[in-house]
Amino acid sequence: MAEKITMGAGGALRVPDEPIVPFIQGDGTGIDIWPAAQLVMDAAAAKHGKRISWKEVLAGEKAYKETGDWLPEETVETFREYLIGIKGPLTTPVGGGIRSLNVALRQLLDLYVCLRPVRWFSGVPSPVKHPEKVDMVIFRENTEDIYAGLEVEEGTPEAARLIDLLHDAFGWEIRKDSGIGIKPVSETGSKRLVRAALNYAVRHGRKSVTLVHKGNIQKFTEGAFRNWGYELVREEFADVAVGWDDCGGDPGGKILVKDAIADITLQQVLTRPDEFDVIATTNLNGDYLSDALAAQVGGIGIAPGGNINYVSGHGIFEATHGTAPKYAGQDKVNPGSLLLSGVMMFEHLEWLDAARDIVSALERTIAEKIVTYDFARLMEGATEVKCSEFAQAIVERL
């Protein structure tokens, strides 16, 4: 019988064998990748005696056409009620109009962690020599920083007022023709993000957590993030983790918590990827870092993500690429990002066998060079298949 996922005692999810899981198909290529990913998820779950009762909810263009609303209240409420969901990509109009639907969903449900595991699957074409050395998990803060949406546009009365206020109150000289964005970074937001990263590192036997920040310039936001991270280690994780400054770089069997400036990190993840393990970072850094890293292991066609609140139990897993509108409806693009988001969701639900099966079937399919166009153009002797055929090939290898 189909049932809701609920939050059990002790903050762990209680997952029935037939959970009801809301999903957003997504705009553009969502129409192609959703059925492909669903086919594989259903087959893998069935192999282990499970079944997902999918519940479609609307957002984006499809929602707007059917309800006149880009993000209907009912969709948010359904995710709130059923805790765990998954989504395809959504269109974000540029410059004004509706705010990003993805950002809105994250903020409305307070999904404070954007989780992006970045690892290489054997056979996937990569621009670097040793993609097998890339195995990082990024914890990106998801609710603060310049993504908080606190911006005023150049030339508006609001901008003029803010510029005057900042001049009067702080003596700050800001050009009159400026737009202004506010970057809040709080102790609460920073510590709960770093706490989630440390808990993950403990649970998965990871060796280090790197706090990535731009604190040399932005001292009271990015620098504070770093300081609060180290403070949290001392306050709550002293038995299992230790900060670099407190151990001189020798953690003695504990998890080593270190920090790195964002710009040098973008170099070092390329040149010394094996020195990075779990990464905890602020919102904008995390955005850049996760896409840059995804490029090393096969690009955004295969990079998954999850947005999670570990306290309330809410989580929405999502393809990290956009709607790729030029390919919409062509049954062409790679469903890997959405499918691997499904794998992350299965892992989050502790359906570990089904998750592992999908990954190994995906690896076998790619090893046999059966791939979609994005990989085919980078591989010698590949058999290019459609999105749906790729999913079918994975199911055959489950």
Q: What residues line the site for ligand NAP (CB under 6 A)?
A: 29, 33, 89-92, 102, 300-301, 318, 321-325, 333-334, 337, 374
Residue 64 pairs with which residues in a beta bridge? none
CA 76 – CA 61 distance, rounded (Å): 16
By beta carbon distance, the residue nearest ligand NAP is 322
Burial 318-346 (b: 16+ CB within 10 A, else e): bbbbbbbeebbeebbbbbbbbbbbbbbbb
Closer to ligand NAP by CB, 225 or 327: give it. 327
Residue at token pair 């991270």: 229
Which of 112, 147, 200, 373 is the catalytic position? 147
CB of 40 to ligand NAP, least distance (A): 14
Quote the least distance from Cβ 62 to ligand NAP, whole Å.
13
C-beta closer to ligand NAP: residue 71 or 324: 324
The answer to whether residue 147 is catalytic is yes
**Which among 123, 51, 128 has a CA at the least distance from the CA of 394?**
123
CA of residue 189 relative to chain centroid, distance: 17
Alpha helices in 272-315 (DSSP H): 283-296
Q: Would you call 254 a catalytic residue per the annotation?
A: no
Q: Is residue 287 annotated as a catalytic residue, yes or no?
A: yes
Question: Residue 364: what are its φ and ψ, rounded to 5°?
Answer: -65, -40
Q: Is 263 a catalytic residue?
A: yes
To which residue do tokens 């995710």 refer? 79
In the complex, the smallest distance separating the C-beta of residue 372 from ligand NAP, rounded to whole angstroms, is 6
CB of 323 to ligand NAP, least distance (A): 4
Nearer to ligand NAP, 88 or 229 (CB): 88
Catalytic residue, chosen from 50, 62, 87, 214, is 214
Closest to ligand NAP by CB, 83 or 333: 333
Q: Which of 209, 211, 197 is nearest to 251 (CA)?
A: 209
What is the smallest separation between the CB atom of 380 and ligand NAP, expressed in angstroms?
Answer: 19
Whether residue 337 contacts residue 303, with contact meaning beta carbons closer than 8 Å, is answered with yes
Q: Which of 17, 135, 263, 353 is catalytic?
A: 263
Cβ distance to ligand NAP smaller for residue 36 or 198? 36
Pick the closer one to ligand NAP by CB: 146 or 162. Answer: 146
Minimum separation from the CB atom of position 332 to ligand NAP (A): 8
8 Å CB contact between 379 and 371: yes
In a 13 Å sphere around the CA of 182, the CA atoms on its Cβ side amount to: 11
Which helix or strand (DSSP H or E) is residue 257 part of? strand 255-261
Could you say which of 27, 32, 259, 287 is catalytic? Answer: 287
Active site residues: 147, 214, 263, 287
